[in-house]
A and B are shown apart, each in its own frame.
Chain A
């Protein structure tokens, strides 16, 4: 390293002997990026402890006067506990339904020799072009005809069929050696036994990964529940946040309260993410292949 660039050597002069300039720069850059990305979250945490007027003082970035009372208000007066439960129920149903349905679909594609198998798979992938927001009008019509409006069916049903999950499971199953499937064929082991005793135990990581992704995706749904659920007590947490904004205090939006609600809404997916981060990373690694 005979030819150092100028800024480097300037920095090197400031550093104690034996510290690698390059590493200092890299780590400095990383810390800066993390702060930048974490800033909204940090600000939300701070604001959740402030009252409305403190929030509007732009320079006030210290812990506010409210302490945890905003959280208490959100949970008691604004019924956040109920919203959280509603959201958990909705997400859990979507996770279980989606994983089960996708496993069966992938099993059908891999275990059986179907005519036009590729075309069927392509058709499933085509549904990626039509996510729920695009289908809102016909879906709303369908739900009201089915009489599912304002029920848990309405906010879970449309999410259960998933091309992404079918795709991930299919790819994963296809990576399992064909001889394992053939071995089962030789013994006349039925597809359901094979799914339950072989494919699912061999796909635990993938199932966990898809579950986490699905949970967070379902948790963050806003538009569709807002439209289809009319009963406020059955509403999900993301829409619940919107209700706080509606309840303005002397014309001012209670940002402190909203931030407290946002932090509460963030906790369950955070817990899920932390508990399941390992299989999730596994799944993402497969997706990148």
Chain B
């Protein structure tokens, strides 16, 4: 298995810059997820790595080879497409074999053996003689993954492979992909727009926005310590609450002042910058009803506008001043629209972003694990 090293990768379509100078290192045997909204350049990045799009500028290395100018078949990659890309007139086995003669030096017998092996791993032996038309979405996706496995590539590239499946199947295939990755330990680059998929699958997740990388980190770090406001709002569902506040600095003690509340922020010395006004962020599950909070917690009042029972919890939409706040409360809490709530925040889970969108403060300290090196785009 090989690592992928991307250095200053840029893709321009005429005047539009789809991918803007990104640096990314994907370690050998790592499962890295590229996530972002549509049009952020994640698929273009994947397609450049596959060799389906030319690279405008930058260096792309797979293993120790610079592959910028190599045709796809010499890059040692295999790709799984969103729409499976199976040939409708070929059986599962024929689909898996097609192209093997040009991409590898295996004899026909060896290819047959490999198809058999891959089918066993994926549990699709009985699908080998059927055509795609006779298969369900999930089965087709397994055959498509099987086709990638047969090629035994250095790197697997998956482009939204679960997007065409229904919700239940998606969850199931997600688990199977994880298991498969643990068995094969193949370097995998996975593109998705779904933050849940990104969080559950990735060893690390790279969040892309507007052709740039916002942050690359393990899922939990991404969730707990978003480096930008975009990441904070994109990762997590329901999204992080962001309200504008004024900041008052008095030595190391910092207060966030909002028209409807004032919070003193713990560990004020952690501010990396001291903007006068900023965006204050707290996740819905880090806001709680004051009755459930410690006695000395700072509290404020909010008015409930809508409640959404999610089953395992109750999502409350409420207003503090003119700003909306989402709060995850215990399921079956007796709260109805119009109520005024006394709320408290988890003081270990507060975030502040300056007006460029960069995080200037997290209330707790991120523990650096040996593996979690942070990669960011260079300043423009």
- Chain A interface (Cβ within 8 Å of chain B)? 177, 179-180, 182-190, 193, 197-198, 201-202
* Alpha-carbon distance A198/B103, docked complex (angstroms): 17
A187 and B83 contacting across the interface, CB-CB below 8 Å = no
Q: Which of A182, A187, A202 contacts B73 (CB 8 A)?
A: A187
In the complex, which residues 34-74 of chain B have their Cβ closer than 8 Å to any Cβ of chain A? 50-52, 71-74
A186 and B73 contacting across the interface, CB-CB below 8 Å = yes
* Alpha-carbon distance A180/B88, docked complex (angstroms): 10
* Alpha-carbon distance A189/B102, docked complex (angstroms): 6
User: Known contacts being A177-B85, A202-B87, is A186 close to B77, with CB within 8 Å?
Assistant: yes
17 additional A-B residue pairs with CB within 8 Å, beyond A180-B87, A186-B77, A188-B103: A179-B82, A180-B85, A182-B85, A183-B81, A183-B85, A183-B99, A184-B99, A186-B72, A186-B103, A187-B100, A187-B102, A187-B151, A188-B71, A190-B102, A193-B102, A197-B98, A202-B89
Q: B79 within 8 Å of A by Cβ?
A: yes
Q: B352 within 8 Å of A by Cβ?
A: no
**Residue on A nearest B85 in the bound complex, by CB:** A179
A177 and B83 contacting across the interface, CB-CB below 8 Å = yes
Residues of B within 8 A of A201 (CB): 89
User: Known contacts being A187-B103, A202-B88, is A182 close to B98, with CB within 8 Å?
Assistant: no
Closest 4 CB pairs of A and B: A187-B99, A188-B73, A179-B85, A179-B81
Residues of A within 8 A of B84 (CB): 179
A188 and B85 contacting across the interface, CB-CB below 8 Å = no
- B81-113, CB under 8 A of A: which get 1 and which 0? 111110111000000001110110000000000
B88 and A186 contacting across the interface, CB-CB below 8 Å = no
CB distance from A150 to the nearest CB of B (A): 44
Q: Which of A179, A186, A188 contacts B83 (CB 8 A)?
A: A179
* Alpha-carbon distance A226/B69, docked complex (angstroms): 57
CB distance from A189 to the nearest CB of B (A): 5
User: Can you spell out 18 A-B residue pairs with CB atoms less than 8 angstroms apart?
Assistant: A177-B83, A177-B85, A180-B87, A182-B52, A183-B99, A185-B72, A186-B52, A186-B72, A187-B72, A187-B73, A187-B98, A187-B103, A188-B73, A189-B98, A189-B102, A198-B87, A198-B89, A202-B87
CB distance from B75 to the nearest CB of A (A): 9
CB distance from A181 to the nearest CB of B (A): 9
**Residue on B nearest A193 in the bound complex, by CB:** B102
Q: B287 within 8 Å of A by Cβ?
A: no
* Alpha-carbon distance A179/B87, docked complex (angstroms): 10
Residues of B within 8 A of A197 (CB): 98
Residues of B within 8 A of A184 (CB): 99
* Alpha-carbon distance A226/B238, docked complex (angstroms): 79
Residues of A within 8 A of B89 (CB): 198, 201-202
Q: B316 within 8 Å of A by Cβ?
A: no
* Alpha-carbon distance A189/B85, docked complex (angstroms): 15
CB distance from B133 to the nearest CB of A (A): 12
CB distance from A214 to the nearest CB of B (A): 23
**Residue on B nearest A200 in the bound complex, by CB:** B89
CB distance from A287 to the nearest CB of B (A): 22
CB distance from B342 to the nearest CB of A (A): 55
Q: B279 within 8 Å of A by Cβ?
A: no
In the complex, which residues 130-178 of chain B have their Cβ closer than 8 Å to any Cβ of chain A? 151
**Residue on A nearest B78 in the bound complex, by CB:** A186
User: Known contacts being A180-B87, A182-B52, A202-B88, is A189 close to B99, with CB within 8 Å?
Assistant: yes
CB distance from A176 to the nearest CB of B (A): 9
* Alpha-carbon distance A40/B231, docked complex (angstroms): 76
User: Known contacts being A180-B87, A202-B88, A202-B89, is A188 close to B102, with CB within 8 Å?
Assistant: yes
CB distance from B164 to the nearest CB of A (A): 12
Q: Which of B81, B87, B103, B151 contacts A182 (CB 8 A)?
A: B81
* Alpha-carbon distance A201/B83, docked complex (angstroms): 20
Residues of B within 8 A of A177 (CB): 83, 85
CB distance from A225 to the nearest CB of B (A): 39
* Alpha-carbon distance A179/B99, docked complex (angstroms): 14
Residues of A within 8 A of B87 (CB): 180, 198, 202
**Residue on B nearest A177 in the bound complex, by CB:** B83
Q: Which of B72, B78, B81 contacts A188 (CB 8 A)?
A: B72
* Alpha-carbon distance A247/B238, docked complex (angstroms): 91
* Most chain A CB inside 10 Å of its own CB: which residue of B78, B82, B84, B99: B99
* Alpha-carbon distance A183/B102, docked complex (angstroms): 12
* Alpha-carbon distance A193/B98, docked complex (angstroms): 10
**Residue on B nearest A181 in the bound complex, by CB:** B85
* Alpha-carbon distance A182/B77, docked complex (angstroms): 13
* Alpha-carbon distance A188/B71, docked complex (angstroms): 8
